[in-house]
Amino acid sequence: MSIEYNPTPLKLLNFLGCANPAGKAQLEELEAAHKIKLPSLLFDFFSRAWNQPLFECSDIWVTEEHPSLGFSYDILAEIIAEWQEDWAKDPKQYEGDVCFQLSQLPKERWPERVSNYLEIGSDYSAGVITFGIRLEDLALPDPPVYSLHEADTETDWKLLDETLSLFLMRILADVLTCAMYRSAQEVLEEAGWRYNSTNNLEEALQQAGQLGIDLSKAARCGALYSAAVTPDVCRYCYVADTNTFFLLKEDSGNNKVVGLFLSPNQ
């Protein structure tokens, strides 16, 4: 068996039939407007995922219904503009407010308190969580991804994944296993794909063994909708001989298992 134990996010997009960079113009406009260059991985993935039915319920902003990609400093500037009149009435009352503190600094000094993040997605399952990449990291080929929960202060971004690749695999894992919505399964089955899913760990392992998969070699990624948002909840690989993508999600905290075997009809 020819098995690829660490298929890239772009390889899986191609496997899923998302090869057309339909969002290229939108991303080029973003780059021009902000005088930036996006990492090739981000540009290629988002442009190919743009308006794809598979991602209409995903946590990355790649459809016209999602918010537009933008920078956190612009959001902070909007908050400051909205609250300025109230702050002026009683400045001492708001001295502990992060946005008030930023309003007392020239924008050039904001990086002393918080980086400027390119916001690329969000999750609403347990309060609003925004995902972003630091402006200074956009020059990296595979930059880390951070998250900010709405309950935290505007400067309290936390590292979510060490690389964009891991984050995109996290997104793909949740989309394909239908963690919150069954839209991906419906889209794929309507297109004639074989979507074989089981919630029985023994059955998943047995089927994986029949394909010759050595799970000890399989790459790992996280899943947003699991008890532990860690980078090892899922294992996955691609079996070239049968043109099958295999993913095993073991969410022990919620006592849930998903074994997915996905392949197009030949």
Report pLDDT digits (tens) over 163-206. Answer: 999 999 999 999 998 877 778 899 999 999 999 999 999 999 99
Cβ count near 255 (within 10 Å):
8
Residues 6+ apart with CB under 8 A from 40: 141
How far apart are the C-alpha atoms of 93 and 128, rounded to whole Å? 26
Three-class secondary structure of residue 56 per DSSP: coil
Inter-residue contact 259 to 198 (CB < 8 Å): yes
* Cα 4 from chain centre: 22
What digits encode the pLDDT tens for the residues 63-122?
888 889 999 999 999 999 999 988 988 888 888 899 999 999 999 999 999 999 999 999
What digits encode the pLDDT tens for the residues 125-157?
777 899 999 999 999 999 999 999 999 988 899
Cβ-in-10-Å burial (0-12, 13-18, 19+) of 32 comes to: exposed
Cβ-in-10-Å burial (0-12, 13-18, 19+) of 159 comes to: exposed
Give which of 144, 122, 120, 140 is closest to 132, Cα–Cα.
120
Inter-residue contact 84 to 128 (CB < 8 Å): no
- Min mean pLDDT across 69-73, 231-235, 252-256 is at 252-256
The arithmetic mean of pLDDT across residues 210-231, rounded, is: 81
Give which of 118, 121, 128, 79 is closest to 100, Cα–Cα.
79
CA quadruple 48, 169, 153, 126: dihedral sign: positive
pLDDT recorded at residue 211: 95
Residue 265 pLDDT class (50, 70, 90 cuts): confident
pLDDT recorded at residue 229: 57
